[in-house]
Structure 1
Amino acid sequence: MGETDDRLDMTPRRLALGSIVLLAMVLIVPDVAFVLTSPHGRKLSWVAGQLVLPTMLLMAYFAVLGRWPRLACLLMVPFAVLAPTATFYILDYRTPITEAVLGTLLATNVAEATDFLGPGMWMLVALSLAAGALAVIAARLSARARLHLIASRRVHGTVVALAAIPVFAFLGTQAVAQRPAGVGIAAGEGPGSHLFRAVRDSYPFGIPLTLGLWWKDQARLQAAMRRTQGFRFHAVHTARTGQRQIYVLVIGESSRRNHWQLFGYDRPTNPELSHTDDLVPVTHMISPWPTTIGAVPAMLTRKPATMGLFQPFTERSIVTLMREAGFDTWWLSNQSPTGEWNSPITAYADEAQHLQWLNLQRYDGSLPEGLGQAVRQSRGDLFVVLHMIGSHGSYDLRYPPAFKTFTPTLRDGGPSASRYRRVTNSYDNTIVYTDHVLARTIAELRQTGAIAALWYQSDHGETLPTATCRMSEHGHGYRYEFPVPALFWYSDAYAQAFPEKLAALRAHAGDRASSANTFATLADMAGVHFAGQDGSRSLFSTTWHYRPRIVHPVWQAEHGWVDYDRAELGDGCELVRPRPKAATSG
Structure 2
Amino acid sequence: IGADAVATVRPEGSRPRLLVFVVGETARAQNWGLNGYARETTPQLTQMGVINFSDMHSCGTNTEVSVPCMFSSFGRRNYDEDKIRSHQSLLHVLERAGITTLWRDNQSGCKGVCDGLEYQSLGNAQSSSLCVDGRCFDEILLEDLPAQARKNPGDRVIFLHQLGNHGPSYFQRYPAAYRKFIPTCDTPEMGKCTREQIVNSYDNAILYTDHFLTQVIKKLQGLSDYDTAMIFVSDHGESLGEKGLFLHGMPYAIAPQEQTRVPLVMWFSSTFTQSRGLNIGCLSERARSYANHDALFSSVLGLMQVKTSEYDRNFDFFFGCDDKNI
Q: Which residue of 1 aligns with 2:111?
A: 346
Contact 2:149–2:158 under 8 Å retained in 1: no
Contact 1:406–1:429 under 8 Å retained in 2: yes
Q: Which residue of 1 aligns with 2:206?
A: 431
How far the C-alpha of 1:499 sits from its partner, in A, is 2.7
Contact 2:239–2:259 under 8 Å retained in 1: yes
- Does residue 462 (structure 1) correspond to residue 247 (structure 2)? The answer is no
Look up the equivalent residue of 1:425 and give its one-letter code.
N
Q: Which residue of 1 aligns with 2:43?
A: 271
1:269 aligns to what SS in structure 2?
Answer: coil
Q: Which residue of 2 aligns with 1:302?
A: 73
Q: Which residue of 2 aligns with 1:235?
A: 5
Question: C-alpha separation between the residues in 2 aligned to 1:293 and 1:437?
Answer: 24
The residue correspondences of 1:145-294 to structure 2 (distance < 5 A) are 231-238=1-8, 240-241=10-11, 242-277=14-49, 279-294=50-65
Deviation per residue, 1:439-494 (Å, 9 max, x gap): 0111111111111111110001110014xx33211012222111100011000101
Question: C-alpha separation between the residues in 2 aligned to 1:500 and 1:387?
Answer: 26
Look up the equivalent residue of 1:406 and give its one-letter code.
F
Q: Which residue of 2 aligns with 1:382?
A: 156
Question: C-alpha separation between the residues in 1 aligned to 2:272 and 2:55?
Answer: 24
Contact 1:239–1:526 under 8 Å retained in 2: no
- Does residue 492 (structure 1) correspond to residue 291 (structure 2)? The answer is no
Contact 1:239–1:528 under 8 Å retained in 2: no
1:543–1:267 distance in 2 versus 1, CA, 3 Å: closer
Equivalent pairs: percent with the same residue? Answer: 30
Contact 1:536–1:543 under 8 Å retained in 2: no
Question: C-alpha separation between the residues in 1 aligned to 2:114 and 2:309?
Answer: 22
Q: Which residue of 1 aligns with 2:318?
A: 540
2:229 aligns to what SS in structure 1?
Answer: strand
Question: C-alpha separation between the residues in 2 aligned to 1:364 and 1:462?
Answer: 19
Look up the equivalent residue of 1:422 and give its one-letter code.
Q
Question: C-alpha separation between the residues in 1 aligned to 2:20 and 2:321?
Answer: 24
Q: Which residue of 2 aligns with 1:529?
A: 307
- Does residue 520 (structure 1) correspond to residue 298 (structure 2)? The answer is yes
- Report the structure, 1 or 2, having the larger strand content: 2
Q: Which residue of 2 aligns with 1:510?
A: 288
Question: C-alpha separation between the residues in 2 aligned to 1:438 and 1:304?
Answer: 25
Question: C-alpha separation between the residues in 1 aligned to 2:239 and 2:46?
Answer: 24
Question: C-alpha separation between the residues in 2 aligned to 1:312 and 1:527?
Answer: 26
How far the C-alpha of 1:235 sits from its partner, in A, is 1.2
Look up the equivalent residue of 2:48 and give its one-letter code.
T
1:359 aligns to what SS in structure 2?
Answer: coil
1:237–1:480 distance in 2 versus 1, CA, 3 Å: same
Deviation per residue, 1:75-99 (Å, 9 max, x gap): xxxxxxxxxxxxxxxxxxxxxxxxx
Question: C-alpha separation between the residues in 2 aligned to 1:455 and 1:471?
Answer: 30
Look up the equivalent residue of 1:378 and give its one-letter code.
N
Q: Which residue of 1 aligns with 2:104?
A: 332
1:366–1:508 distance in 2 versus 1, CA, 3 Å: same
Look up the equivalent residue of 1:248 and give its one-letter code.
V
User: C-alpha root-mean-square deviation of aligned residues, in Å?
Assistant: 2.2
Contact 2:75–2:293 under 8 Å retained in 1: no
1:232–1:538 distance in 2 versus 1, CA, 3 Å: closer
Question: C-alpha separation between the residues in 2 aligned to 1:543 and 1:453?
Answer: 16
Question: C-alpha separation between the residues in 2 aligned to 1:458 and 1:499?
Answer: 27
Deviation per residue, 1:414-458 (Å, 9 max, x gap): xxx971100000000000000011001111111111111111100
Gaps of 5+ in 1: 1-230, 338-344, 545-586
Look up the equivalent residue of 2:232 and give its one-letter code.
Y
Look up the equivalent residue of 2:274 and give its one-letter code.
Q
Structure with larger Rg:
1
Look up the equivalent residue of 1:497 and give its one-letter code.
S
Q: Which residue of 1 aligns with 2:127?
A: none
How far the C-alpha of 1:529 sits from its partner, in A, is 1.3
Look up the equivalent residue of 1:243 and give its one-letter code.
R
Contact 1:294–1:309 under 8 Å retained in 2: no
How far the C-alpha of 1:501 sits from its partner, in A, is 5.3
The residue correspondences of 1:13-92 to structure 2 (distance < 5 A) are none
Question: C-alpha separation between the residues in 1 aligned to 2:148 and 2:282?
Answer: 30
Question: C-alpha separation between the residues in 2 aligned to 1:483 and 1:500?
Answer: 26
Contact 1:371–1:384 under 8 Å retained in 2: no
TM-score (norm 2): 0.86
- Report the structure, 1 or 2, having the larger helix content: 1
How far the C-alpha of 1:320 sits from its partner, in A, is 1.0
Contact 1:502–1:540 under 8 Å retained in 2: no
How far the C-alpha of 1:239 sits from its partner, in A, is 5.5
Question: C-alpha separation between the residues in 1 aligned to 2:273 and 2:321?
Answer: 20
TM-score (norm 1): 0.49
**How many residues are paired up?**
300
- Does residue 404 (structure 1) correspond to residue 179 (structure 2)? The answer is yes
Look up the equivalent residue of 1:528 and give its one-letter code.
V
Question: C-alpha separation between the residues in 1 aligned to 2:75 and 2:48?
Answer: 35
Q: Which residue of 1 aligns with 2:120?
A: 356
2:249 aligns to what SS in structure 1?
Answer: coil
Look up the equivalent residue of 2:269 and give its one-letter code.
S
